[in-house]
Structure 1
Amino acid sequence: MVPQPPALTLTGSFMVGTGSDLSEVRATIDVVPRWDDAPMVGRASELAHLLARLDRAASGRTSSVVLAGDAGVGKTRLLDELTARAAARGVRVLLGHCVDLGDVGLPYLPFVDLLRPVAADPELVPAAASNPVLAALLAGQPVSSLPVLPVTEGRDLSRPLPHRAAPQPVDDGRLQLFESVAGLICELASSTPLLIVLEDVHWADRSSRDLLRYLLARLVDVPVAVVASYRADDLHRRHPLRPLLAELVRLPGVERLELAPLPDSEVGTLVRRLAAGAGSLPESTVEDVVARAEGNAFYAEELLAAGLHGEALPLGLTDVLLARVEQRSPAAQQVLRTAAVAGRRVRHELVAAVGELGGGELEEALAEAVHHHLLVVSDDGYRFRHALLREAVLADLLPGERVRLHAAIATYLAREPGAGTAAERAHHARESNDLPGALSASLEAATAACCVGAPAEQLQYLEAVLALWSAVPDAAERAGRDQVALLLETAAAARMVGELHRAVALLRSALDLLGTDADPVTRARVHYTLAQAMVRVEDLTGAHRESSAAMALVPADPPSEVRTWAAATHARMAYSLMLVDEGDAAAEEALTAADALGLDSAWSDTAVSQVRSRQDTDAAAVQRRLDEALMRASRSGDVDVEMRVLFNRATFAFEDGRIAESLDWTRRATSRARELGMEWSFYPAELRHLQVTALYMLGHWDESLAEADLLARVPEMAAHVRAAGLLVQVGRGDAEAQQRLAWARELIPRLNAHVLLSLVTAAAEIDLAAWAGDAEAAVRIATDTSRRLQLLWESDHLGVLRLVASALHPVADAAVAARLLGDTGAARRWTATGEPLVDIARSAVAGFREQVGEMGVEGTAWLARVEAETARLRGDATTELWRAAVEAFGFGHVYEEARSRWRLAEALLACDDRAGAAEQAGLAHEVAVRLGAVPLRTALEALSRRGRLDVGGVRTVDVSAVMTPREAEVLRLLAQGRTNRQIGAELYISEKTASVHVSNILAKLGANGRTEAVAIAAQRGMLV
């Protein structure tokens, strides 16, 4: 028998005064249904399913369920039953609740809630007390080890949060926090199986959602079950939980369980059981309750409670809920109104301070609310039994009373140290129309969010400040900056979390606010900052226009910081549009001025732009230049420029075919970005994408896919990072690739200019179509995407080479199959279908060489693949071209090298070089097995059977064991596309006899037609 774990949830009685006091109160209250003690009705299958998942977790395999249902449908009752059963089985239970705090939530609140019992008992997990990140989190304090660093291109653009007057905390990044929580959970589960229940995740803040996704992906083989519930009817189209749910249900071990409304018969049973202690209940009342409840257990309970107290049944649920409230004493109603304004959960001290009731009167009111099942005791106060009850009470408040209560709560929170967070104070100040207080508290909340590594919440609080700005006369004094500075700061925060389009909009607002008569230096700063944001959303022309405007506003002489950054930015934009002379002039000015003024970050940024524009520069000189740029950027403290230099170090190595070296640079950079809490800003996201790609190319597929899915939600402009995981999924033949493809396809129209997202999605779609033999789809996708890329990239669009090479694969297959069957018309049609793709590839190469220069190693490899596939398409699968493709991909692209070996083995087999074919197929098969590349492995094994090659222990079928000698001859002629009349003539038998042999062959192979029979025989190696 498993020993009973220590109680981690408060399940005992609520004590008021002494035990005798409580007994007297219970003795005097009316007879009401015991909701919490009533047997559960109608959820046997769902409970059994959850218990099965709990048993799976107890056996050491992590199991997770996302529980969905409308408000009041019975999620909480089901979870109460589950936790009770779990405790009875010796499972430790941790409960966490999400709270509705309006537009933004308190970072990590549900996890602080569920881990609070751990903090209260340090003997449970001794390591937690020594972990400063966990200690700060469990104490409800900011994680003080997270650094606050500049997030703008130039050091003078705006002040970071917290502003300069505040102390600068150090920030280890969210990943350390996430890993610490995961480690704590694993340590807890090491002694006793663990059940984690998170309720109402539709109210979860973004950071909590990210942590939940991370834990569900991270916890695999530990005895932990996780159940997260949410209101399905709250999830509107743009609800932030929707994309997270789409990701969660694709994780191994995670499933979604829908809690549907109860059937009328079950609602009737529930009503009768609840009313059993209150005497006979007219059937008409039962029918009335069932009809009004519409399958919602909570509605039924509340309707019944109203009826049992002699209340007229209301016309709507709100009336029913309020009818129960109105039966209580004025003091109890006052407590409920205070609690409703405070939130779903309220601390005892707050009720006592705000409720205007004396000690004894307050205790009696609370006991009345608890005993009549309006409030439920929690570990540090009370919560409404159901959120709908709180909402009904809140809706019934008069506007003046609501404002007064919010004001009282805000005053209490401000007066009592540690009583509440800045986020709570901001919420209550805003709702009490204390807009100055809301503004100040929102600024403080933004600082706190920054300190705990919650950049998304930081952005939301800053935007709340902007929304309040015009309504607060002394906003600038309170904020310590003017509105333009705050807009720049908010735009920088938006860029920090990868919300690039939002950053552009904020910067445009700053320009509009400044007007044409404002200080030219300030306007120039905003113009070039806007240019830096616009280039990252692929608006190169607009970015060049903004950098030009910045240059026109500030003179070059004398040199100044603003002019230097304007010139550095303009050089970059000019180079992007191939305006080399204009770029060179701006770059020389920026480098000279940066040296004169000691602006290392501007110098580094310009040096990178200059290096990128010169394709023929000596590699050693490039490396020295980038080394100096990295040194200067690090010295300057400008992390965004530092990330740009690191990205280019990784990119140059990648383009030169030094994939392992590139991976070293990306790992260094992404680790640094995590430390700085800026992992989804532009360059860290690009570095993450490059890292996912490099891991994929080197054959580290598990790590590549894990890196693509490291955190829960990526900004839309970083969607290509997650989409890059498609390459592994398609390569493995993973059925879940279709779900990720659907997600990516939905994003592409919204992100019209996102080249990398389009490219990686199309590449995956083409490969998927190719392995399915859908040549028409592959051609359509390749053609459409190539046209799109040529519009977006005026010169450098070599990405089409990959699309063309991949699309030629199934087209050439179709042409080869047609020739095998002697269908010359079909062969000509498929050849004609593939030729336009070849033209697209050659046009892209010619344009690149004319405008840019020689291609890198990857482009050269894909061109070699195009040439080899083109020859196969035309019926000339030469071994030399496929050897060239194998050698070209040998720079480090493990999978594509193996695919080229597969085709080389085919070509060698066609030349009757069986030993060479076996060698190449064997090398490719070894890679396919190691990577788990099922489609490639299947193709190689089919080739091995067809060619009777000794590869990977693949068994071939001896045709003589299946066919008679005559049937084998007929099969050979079938494969050549002969008709029955032609077979009979060649074998000197009648057409009728030939027909009988063909029928026998179809029956033995289980084929429905001649073409299918030939395909099956070829796959089994029966055609010699």
Structure 2
Amino acid sequence: MREWSAPSPPPRWSTSDQPPFVARREEFAALETAWADAVAGAGRAVFISGEPGAGKSRLVGEVCTHLHADGAAVLFGSCIQELGAPLDPFDEPIRELLPVFRGGDSPLADSVTLLDGVIGRSTDGGTAPLIGQDRLYDAVIDVVQAAAEMHPLVLVLDDLHWADPTAIGLLTRLVERSAAAPILILGTLRDVPPDRSDPLTDALARLRHLDGVARLELEPFTTDEIVDYVGRRNGLSGPHARASAEVIRQLTGGNAFLVRETWRRVVEAEHQGGMRVITMPDTTREILRPRFATLEPRHLAVLEVAAVLGLEFDLAEILAISEVPEEVTLAAIDAAAMVGLLEVPRAPEEPHRFPHTIARQAVVDQVSGARLLGLHARIAQTLEADFPTAQLLVQRLAHHFAAARALGFGDRAVTYLTKSAEIASRLIAHEDAARLFERAAEIAGDPDERDLLTLRAARSWVATADFARARELCELVIERGGARISLEAAIGHEDASWRPGLQGHRSVELLRSALESVPNDEGDPLYVLGLSSLARAMAFTGSTDDAERLGDRAINLARRLDDQKLLALTLRTSLAPNRPRAAADRLARSAELVARARPLHDDLYIGSLYLRSGACYVAGDRIGMDEAERGLIEESRQLGAYWRYWVESARLGRVFIEGRLGDAEVSCRRIRDAEAVFKSDSTSGANALQSYMVRRESGRLDSIRHLVTGEESPTSRWAPGLLALYTELEMAEPARRVLGWLLDHDDALAHASSNWPARLVFMVEAALWLRDADIATALRPWMEEYSRLNLMSGYFVAVFGAADRYLGEIDSLCATDGALELLEAALVLDENTGADLHVAQTLAAMAVHLRGQPSASRRAEQLADRARGLAEPAGMERVLRSLNREFSPDAGIPSGGMSPRELEVIRLIAEGRSNREIAGHLVISEHTAANHVRSILTKIGATNRTQAAMYAHDRGLLRQEGQ
């Protein structure tokens, strides 16, 4: 690491020909205050917005020049319309900082190496490190924060409205992580159409709750401020200055750029006595027409070339591209600078530039359509032939050749759009890559090339987790493509379907049709992969037997071909969904998949860890689960956002089964945040179930009791979840109704879904609570398929522990031999899994089973005490409630599904107490007392308090003498 000499601000910020800086005093002071806070260690981010020409960049330039003079280090980056790189506006600041931290034993070595690998290879054919956006973001933030520790830093990010999604994500992360760093982030943006960026607007909305984030909206100049401006420019003062200023304000609306461009005309007209005839031109082109009129036609032609090149341009490039002799080109540039249409660079390395994007666009707008096509073609051909090391060459050639494709440059446009997409992929900007691939496909004249590019776009959309868009593109290729490309697309469609857990019917249809269109060649890797993909799709439709046979065949064919990548892919497809009878094979295959995927260096490895961790939980392999989870966490740090969702799900499963319910609640919130990565396939139902599982174990469902009527329809809600809620709230008749509905509407597809274990458990739990031995007996064969396994729905969406616990409880209810043996087997599996919550649940179930056996009553009490020992310190209220129901003084009394607290309430109702009196007696709120009364009336089927009192009397619920 070398000493860092903070760079100077861009020279154009301090040019002598800058117009006077007026107004913006409050904004200037606000930015100075933000800087003082940042220097004190409280990071700040200020986003300055306004219409084009409002003076955003000028304000930032003035402030940063002042701060730099006071010792601030200023880094500058900007976004370029149409021609930018995916990491703009961060690319330039990163390149400035990397040399500072190269070499030596810097703790940033890994981050610097990573960024060198990504940025250094972004324009060549090299392969960047396999990382995800999260790891890229972390590396950038590491370097920026380390620089700020050496020297408090102002990071200017100009024209953020042109930033791509990758850069916006990095901006969001940097702001969030800089709250305690000496960094002031200044961003400028347009927030009005057509330049308004919805992704940026959404990102700023998410950031606005942070203490260090502020927004400044630049208002138009007031008349007084224009008076100040005119006075400084022309020395005009008094009534004459105000009269001119009022006209300027009326004509320009106070827009800073328009004031700059029109003030002289107004003042001169006033001097000549003709102010009343001045009108505001309709377009910026008309505003600048007097300046254009001062240029010779051949000089104006040179200016048009410069405008098509971009806001900034290199002198060598325009000399090569210009259609006129060199001396004429140079004279044209001087002439344009003389009338304020170009800015002359202050330093040799600085490019020429237009004073504002408005001025540049005004020049472009006057170029005819035909001439514009020709200029784009000439620029592209010259850059390609003569400037092989030009900055952003590939992106610029993509833009200019695409704009000139009507002149026969379509193939060149496709070539460079494809290369731009590949650069974006190497920069982990997958959304940009997807859009570039799509654009190239639209231009491609060859159908095969078009379809291949469309598939590449689909794969990039998969990398962004926009699976719906990926499926849409795959179907488009299938509709118009040849046999083999259609098979590739069908495989891609299935891959974009199973990831969000969609049913596989459409993928089965597409794959079968595609496989029928190619030769039945078992030596063709694509054909084998198609069989494997079809097997997984069939499993998601419920055809598990056929899916297993086809999956086994694909694996055997892959082994015969000795293709390691193909074998890993076929192993992966055989692991989803989770079929109970194949659990042992699944566990072995997951281990082989991890071993084979590890050296492949792609996301197949992290996917193998994700599948392995779930297989190990089901099998009760704690060591395997721990190893897979550790690997998943480590790899996700590299590969980022999509996998962070699965890491958080695995972490939730871990802390939940360990009984760390507070940590599980935190994990649920993190999962909700991580769900944002799924752009089109919602996972909100999964998180709702995860949250429910945590809340029910911690006894926190009473808060929603008043929202549940018992009359909800199972067709308008997820029926298994509704049944579980009725069961937990002890609403007997509603639970019985929905349980019957679920049994009446059972089908094979439900058994094949990833949420079948939850559906089955909720039905069994309801039957056990209702003490309905007939239904429990009917459900038992389905539960027996999972014997000796743990039950898991989805990927740690809902985990229930050993199926043998439920089988033991069913046999206990039905007085069937073997209940205790099943419960003991469940306890062994719970302990092997390292699951204190499941252990406590099984101990409680064993205690309840043995309580009815006089010879085992002492052991029952011991088991109950062990369960309480785990449950009480961890807040496992559901376990404690089940013990209290059986081991409290009221045990054995027919409670009608009422909880111990509700038994107390109904006794007080029978004594004639009001809700207020009940609340005072039990030291609860009157609102809570009323909720208990409503719940009691629902459970016992009573319509009023008198009927509730009679119910208590008839069933012996009243207190006996001495109680």
TM-score by length of 1: 0.66
Distance across 1 between alignment mates of 2:662 and 2:317: 49
Contact 2:587 2:619 in 1 (8 A): no
Do structure 1's residue 322 and structure 2's residue 288 form an aligned pair? yes
Deviation at 1:73? 3.3
Distance (whole Å) between structure 2 residues aligned to residue 788 and residue 1007 of structure 1: 31
**1:271 Cα deviation from its structure 2 partner:** 0.9
Cα deviation, 1:175-214, whole Å, max 9, x if unaligned, reads: 5543332222122211221111211111012322232223
What's the CA shift string for 1:607-666, capped at 9, x where partnerless? 45556577455866543333234444557x495654543332111123346678535424
Q: Which amino acid aligns with 1:419?
A: A
Aligned-partner SS, 2:465 = coil
Q: Which residue of 2 aligns with 1:874?
A: none
Maintained 8 Å contact 1:615/1:852? no
- Corresponding residue for residue 343 of structure 2: 375
Distance 1:539 1:462, change over 3 A: same
Deviation at 1:831, TM superposition (A): 6.7
Tell me whether 1:759 sits opposite 2:686 in the alignment: yes
* Cα separation, partners in 2 of 1:923 and 1:233, compared to 1, 3 Å: farther
Pick from 40, 43, 62 the counterpart of residue 62 of structure 1.
Answer: 43
Instruction: Show the counterpart of 1:392.
Output: 362
Matches within 5 A, 1:73-222: 73-101=54-82, 105-118=84-97, 131-135=112-116, 142=122, 171=130, 174-222=133-181
The answer to whether structure 1 residue 728 and structure 2 residue 669 are counterparts is yes
> Unpaired segments of 5 or more residues in structure 1?
16-21, 27-33, 145-165, 706-723, 731-736, 791-799, 813-829, 868-883, 903-915, 941-972, 984-994, 1016-1023
Deviation per CA, 1:244-268: give whole Å up to 9, x if none: 3344335x44534151534xxx511
Structure 2 equivalent of residue 438 of structure 1: 413
Give the match for residue 960 of structure 2. Answer: none
Q: Is the 8 A contact 2:710 2:734 kept in 1?
A: no
Aligned to 1:406: 376
| Identical columns (%) | 17
Which aligned pairs between 1:368-767 and structure 2 lie closer than 5 A?
369=337, 372=340, 375=343, 377=345, 380-414=350-384, 415-420=386-391, 421-433=393-405, 434-470=409-445, 475=446, 482-514=449-481, 523-536=486-499, 538-554=502-518, 556=520, 559-610=523-574, 615-617=579-581, 622-633=586-597, 637=600, 639=602, 642-656=605-619, 661-662=624-625, 664-669=627-632, 671-672=634-635, 684=643, 687-688=646-647, 690-691=649-650, 693-694=652-653, 697=656, 727-728=668-669, 751=681, 754=682, 756-761=683-688, 764=691
1:410: how far off?
Answer: 1.6
Looking at structure 1, the residues matched to 29 and 305 of structure 2 have their Cα atoms a distance apart, in angstroms, of 39
Q: Cα 1:50–1:569, aligned 2, differ >3 Å: closer, same or farther?
A: same
Structure 2 counterpart of 1:418, one-letter code: T
* CA deviation profile, 1:501-535 (whole Å, cap 9, x unmatched): 23222222222223xxx5x5555454444444444
Q: Any idea what the Cα deviations from partners look like across 1:384-405, whole Å, max 9, x if unmatched?
A: 3332232222222222332233
Q: CA deviation at 1:231?
A: 1.4
Counterpart Cα distance in 2 of 1:125 and 1:272 = 58
Q: 1:565 to 1:189 in 2, by over 3 A?
A: closer
Residue in 2 that maps onto 1:273: 228
Aligned letter for 1:408? R
* 2:589 match: secondary structure: helix
- After TM superposition, give the deviation of residue 857 of structure 1 in Å: 4.7
Point out the more displaced range, 359-368 or 182-191. Answer: 359-368
- 2:314 and 2:351 in contact (8 A); partners too: yes
In 2 relative to 1, CA 302–123 (structure 1 residues): closer, same or farther, beyond 3 Å? farther
- Deviation per CA, 1:194-239: give whole Å up to 9, x if none: 1112111110123222322232233342211212222111478983
Deviation at 1:51, TM superposition (A): 3.2
- Supply the distance in 2 between the matched residues of 1:125 and 1:49 (Cα, whole angstroms): 40
Q: Deviations over 1:269-326 (max 9, x none)?
A: 1211111042254645433332344454444444435534659443335245424642
Taking a change above 3 Å as real, the CA distance of residues 579 and 622 of structure 1, as seen in their structure-2 partners, is closer
- 1:797 is aligned to none
**Matched residue SS, 2:188:** strand
User: Distance in 2 between the 1:299 and 1:189 partners?
Assistant: 38
Structure 2 vs 1, CA of residues 319 and 899 (structure 1 numbering), >3 Å: closer, same or farther? farther
Q: Distance in 2 between matches of 1:896 and 1:320?
A: 77
Aligned CA distance change for structure 1 residues 350 and 606 (closer, same or farther; 3 Å): closer
Check 1:386–1:589 CA distance in 2 against 1; reply closer, same or farther (3 A cut): same
Q: Which residue of 2 aligns with 1:39?
A: 22
Aligned CA distance change for structure 1 residues 394 and 426 (closer, same or farther; 3 Å)? same
Q: Is residue 73–residue 261 contact of structure 1 (8 Å, CA) maintained in 2?
A: yes
Q: Say whether 1:773 aligns with 2:703.
A: yes
- SS of residue in 2 equivalent to 1:8: coil
2:629–2:647 CA contact under 8 A, matched in 1: yes
Report the residue type matching 1:276 in the other structure: G
What's the CA shift string for 1:51-83, capped at 9, x where partnerless? 333222211232223333333334323323432
Aligned 1:907-946 pairs, distance under 5 A: none
| Cα distance in 2 between the residues matched to 1:313 and 1:454 | 47
Change (3 A) 1:853 1:602: farther
Distance 1:372 1:466, change over 3 A: same
Asked if the contact 2:303–2:336 (Cα under 8 Å) also holds between the matched residues in 1, the reply is no
The partner residue of 1:51 within 32, 54, 60 is: 32
Q: How far did residue 459 of structure 1 move?
A: 2.1
TM-score (normalizing by structure 2): 0.70
| More displaced 10-residue stretch of structure 1: 419-428 or 656-665 | 656-665
Match of 1:422, SS state, is helix
Name the counterpart of 2:785. 853
2:307 matched to which residue of 1? 340
Please tell me the root mean square deviation across aligned C-alpha atoms, in Å: 5.7
Query: What is the CA–CA distance in structure 2 between the aligned matches of 1:1008 and 1:788, rounded to whole Å?
Result: 31
- Secondary structure of the structure 2 residue equivalent to 1:9: coil
Give the gaps of 5 or more residues in structure 2: 270-274, 743-758, 765-777, 793-798, 808-824, 845-862, 882-903, 934-962
The number of aligned residues is 820
Q: CA shift at 1:370, angstroms? A: 7.2
Report the CA distance shift for 1:847/1:314 in structure 2 as closer, same or farther (over 3 A).
farther
**Do 1:860 and 1:888's aligned partners in 2 also have CA atoms closer than 8 Å?**
no
* Residue-by-residue CA offset, 1:963-1004 (whole Å, 9 max, x unaligned): xxxxxxxxxx99997899979xxxxxxxxxxx9x999x99xx
Equivalents in 2 of 1:189, 1:757: separation in Å?
39
Distance in 2 (CA, whole Å) between partners of 1:885 and 1:52 is 64
Question: What CA distance in whole angstroms lies between the structure 1 residues aligned with 2:467 and 2:930?
Answer: 53
- How far does residue 900 in structure 1 lie from its aligned partner after superposition? 13
Alignment of 1:745-894 (within 5 A): 751=681, 754=682, 756-761=683-688, 764=691, 773-777=703-707, 800=720, 844-845=763-764, 850=782, 853-854=785-786, 856-857=790-791, 859-860=799-800
Q: In 1, Cα distance between the equivalents of 2:30 and 2:864? A: 52
Q: Tell me the distance in 2 between the aligned counterparts of 1:218 and 1:404.
A: 47
Q: Which of 333, 345, 359 is matched with 1:365 structurally?
A: 333
